[in-house]
Amino acid sequence: MPGQITDEGSNGPRRYWRIETVVWADDAQVESLCDAIARVLCPDPGHQPPCVIPWEIGRSELAASDQAVHSLREQVEIEYPQQNAGES
């Protein structure tokens, strides 16, 4: 049956994965990014189920104390020194 989901992919058994990224963005940029990721995972949102790649997307704002924020903040301060002035 076309589009049927199986436990075996072309490169071995399927497993569950979480792919994470941390971004410095405003609300509109985050929404746009999530839309773009969704189009990559499912380029035809009007298709009949099931989706060839079952997926779910989520997002959450990170606390300033999060280690990932600290690492990205260092990069932002180097690459965007004027825009980041005054942030702590």
Domain ranges across the chain = 8-79
> DSSP alpha helices (H): ranges in 5-83?
27-41, 67-79
pLDDT at 86 over 80: no
Coil, strand or helix at 58? coil
Give me the numbers of helices (H) and strands (E) for the chain, helices first please: 2, 2
Interatomic CA distance for residues 59 and 47, integer angstroms: 24
Pairing state between β 12-13 and 8-9: antiparallel
pLDDT at 23: 94
Distance of alpha carbon 22 from alpha carbon 20, whole angstroms: 7
Q: Does residue 4 have a pLDDT over 70?
A: no
The span from the CA of 39 to the CA of 33, in Å, is 10
CA atoms within 13 A on the CB side of 51: 13
Query: What confidence tens digit (pLDDT) does each residue in 24-61 have?
Result: 999 999 999 999 999 999 989 889 988 888 899 999 99
What is the pTM assigned to this prediction? 0.70
Higher pLDDT, 1 or 70: 70
